[in-house]
Amino acid sequence: MAEKKTVTVTQTGSPIGRTEDQHATLKGLGLNKRHRSRVLEDTPSVRGMINKVRHLVRVDEESAR
């Protein structure tokens, strides 16, 4: 089976004062409080979500699992 690449996304900024779509994007990534992390599959849709809130998150690249 092909090994899938993953990325670790950590929320570093608060969604307070941000637009509703940015708040919803953080929720879609599984983040709802600062300093929480999620390991997500590295797909174009996840990359697009990360790009939308790149000023509120930190991304750590991981090797294939």
pLDDT in the model for residue 4: 85
Q: In what order do the strands lie in the sheet with 37-41?
A: 37-41, 6-11, 57-61
pLDDT in the model for residue 52: 97
In Å, how far from its chain's centre is CA 56?
A: 9
What pTM was estimated for this model as a whole? Answer: 0.86
pLDDT digit string, tens, across residues 7-31: 999 999 999 999 999 999 999 999 9
pLDDT digit string, tens, across residues 36-48: 999 999 999 999 9
pLDDT in the model for residue 40: 96
Q: How far apart are CA 61 and CA 46, in angstroms?
A: 13
Q: Which of the four pLDDT bands, split at 50, 70 and 90, describes residue 65?
A: low
Domains in the chain, CATH or no CATH each: 6-61 (3.30.1390.20)
